[in-house]
Structure 1
Amino acid sequence: MNQKYAVPALDRAHAVMALLAEEPYVWKLSDLSRRLEISKSTLFSLLSTLERLRWIDRDRNETYALGSVMGDFGGAYFRQYDLIDQFKRNAEPVVRRLQESIQLARLDGGDVQYLAKVEAPSPVQMVSGAGIRFPAHATGLGKSLLAFRSEEEVRAILPQETLSKITVHTIGSREALLKELEEVRASGCSMDIQEGVMGFCCVAAPIFDRSRQAAAAISCSMPIHHWEGKKMEAIREVKALAQLLSIAV
């Protein structure tokens, strides 16, 4: 993996967490410093921050273990698989009504990663199966997920002002994307009009978790010649399905 944008503090935190996961309430600061070859002053700041965030816990003997937040993270990790099951079950009737495919995805860095798809019985399909990744700025799914991050987060996720053009219709600048994300927040859904794949349009909406973060998103994709006739119905169906799935996350 490219180390160009690696964050050393996160690498050190990961090393600490991995060790504490194997041996809870065994390691003190001085022991961790020797084992991980991290200076005590650097490690003290790191452990203090992790403890404040409740990523780790410290007992009366000054030894450390994983904290309660890691349990929350672990629960959220496994709930995503419940979400896939819920998605497949609840998307099927929507696909039958619209006769168009529905996708589920999450944000992974500057990309969306497709988690699942319920396909319509159509010979014309957009390639979007589980595991496929696509630039977030070029998809309705990505816009729905980015819209509910802060502007600072979006700028960190997409550090370049110029965005790659997947088709002639793809948004080409980060500033233009930020303006569109404001519209997405206001409307509760996002569009992709031949921005990711020529000949296809999508409408997408975010799925919110219990902390009101956009944990995933769903989209309905269709050939452009279906778009005008089905757009409004697709918007209603996708927003309703996203709201339903938000309860499951």
Structure 2
Amino acid sequence: MDQKYNVPALDRANAVLKMLSEQPYTWKLSDLSKQLDISKSTLFSLLQTLERLQWISRDRHETYAIGSALGQLGGAFFRQFNLTEDFKRLAEPVMLKLKESVQLAMLEGGDVLYLAKVAASSPVQMVSGPGVRFPAHATGLGKALMSNLGEEEIRQLFPQELLPKLTMHSIGTREALLQEIRQANENGYATDIQEGVMGFCCVAAPIRRPDGTLLAAVSCSMPIHHWEGKKEDATREIIALARRLSPGI
């Protein structure tokens, strides 16, 4: 990611939080200042702010540890992965109906991070299991996941106009990507026609929270020779699956 958009105060806060997570109630202000090479005056203001936000806590010995607010945020992070269990249960009948693999993923920076997969019994499979990352601009999942981002957010994710082409069909420019994302937002789904992997196509739809923001996305991928015969059914099934997985919708 382009370093020119970095916020130094957040980098310093992140360094403090990492130290406190590894050794709680060990470090005082002066110790942290030496270890992190941050001036005491700057660090004092930072620690005061973090304590006010309950991101850190301080004991009677003036040492610090991670605070309750971060515990709540961390809980929210892990709760979202309850989604994977619902996905496996609800995606199974979709896979059996389409006889094609179904994936669940989230956006992490400029990449798609695959969370779960219900694989069809096809001998030919995309590499898209849990933990695999893939450039978001080259996938239907990525376009679906970016469909409610503003143009400035997308420009920050992709600061260069030219985008790396994974295949001859990959989107090659940021402007073309913006157009595809606008179309995905309008349609409620996105497609990838051999853009990420030659010989494979997919259709993807976003999973939304009650407030309309995106939580994750689901997709169905298949070999290109299945696409024309199955794309309408796959689009309908994936949109319906995304809606069923959207909490409170």
Q: TM-score, normalised by structure 2?
A: 0.83
Of residues 91-100 and 237-246 in structure 1, the stretch that sits farther from structure 2 once superposed is 237-246
Q: Cα deviation per residue 1:9-40 (whole Å; 9 max; x = unaligned)? A: 4432122223444436x877566435543113
* Inter-CA distance 11–91: structure 2 relative to 1 (3 Å threshold): same
For the 8 Å contact 2:111–2:134, the answer to whether it is kept is: yes
Distance in 1 (CA, whole Å) between partners of 2:82 and 2:10 is 29
Given the alignment of the two structures, is residue 123 of structure 1 paired with residue 130 of structure 2, yes or no?
no
Residue 245 of structure 1: CA displacement? Answer: 1.6
Q: What does residue 90 of structure 1 align with?
A: 90
Q: What does residue 227 of structure 2 align with?
A: 227
Task: Write out aligned runs for 1:78-227 (5 A).
Answer: 78-209=78-209, 212-227=212-227
Residue 169 of structure 1: CA displacement? Answer: 1.1
Count of paired positions: 246
Q: What does residue 14 of structure 2 align with?
A: 14
* Inter-CA distance 208–55: structure 2 relative to 1 (3 Å threshold): farther
1:94 is paired with a residue of what secondary structure?
helix
Q: Cα deviation per residue 1:117-154 (whole Å; 9 max; x = unaligned)? A: 11112223222222222111000011111222222221
Distance in 2 (CA, whole Å) between partners of 1:169 and 1:221 is 16
1:201 is paired with a residue of what secondary structure?
strand
* Inter-CA distance 48–186: structure 2 relative to 1 (3 Å threshold): farther
* Inter-CA distance 137–52: structure 2 relative to 1 (3 Å threshold): farther
Distance in 2 (CA, whole Å) between partners of 1:52 and 1:154 is 32
* Inter-CA distance 20–216: structure 2 relative to 1 (3 Å threshold): same
Residue 232 of structure 1: CA displacement? Answer: 1.6
Given the alignment of the two structures, is residue 39 of structure 1 paired with residue 39 of structure 2, yes or no?
yes
* Inter-CA distance 66–209: structure 2 relative to 1 (3 Å threshold): farther
Distance in 2 (CA, whole Å) between partners of 1:30 and 1:210 is 45
Distance in 1 (CA, whole Å) between partners of 2:210 and 2:61 is 35
Distance in 2 (CA, whole Å) between partners of 1:211 and 1:76 is 16
For the 8 Å contact 2:2–2:159, the answer to whether it is kept is: no
Counterpart amino acid of 2:105?
Answer: A
Distance in 1 (CA, whole Å) between partners of 2:153 and 2:3 is 19
Residue 242 of structure 1: CA displacement? Answer: 1.2
Q: Which runs of 5+ in 2 are unaligned?
A: none
2:218 is paired with a residue of what secondary structure?
strand
- What fraction of aligned residue pairs are identical, expressed as a percent? 63
Given the alignment of the two structures, is residue 23 of structure 1 paired with residue 27 of structure 2, yes or no?
no
Distance in 2 (CA, whole Å) between partners of 1:221 and 1:57 is 47
Residue 64 of structure 1: CA displacement? Answer: 6.0
Indicate the RMSD between aligned Cα atoms, in angstroms: 3.1
* Inter-CA distance 98–53: structure 2 relative to 1 (3 Å threshold): farther
1:38 is paired with a residue of what secondary structure?
coil
Counterpart amino acid of 2:169?
Answer: H
Distance in 1 (CA, whole Å) between partners of 2:130 and 2:164 is 23
Q: TM-score, normalised by structure 1?
A: 0.83
* Inter-CA distance 232–69: structure 2 relative to 1 (3 Å threshold): farther
2:81 is paired with a residue of what secondary structure?
helix
Q: Which runs of 5+ in 1 are unaligned?
A: none
Distance in 2 (CA, whole Å) between partners of 1:48 and 1:169 is 52
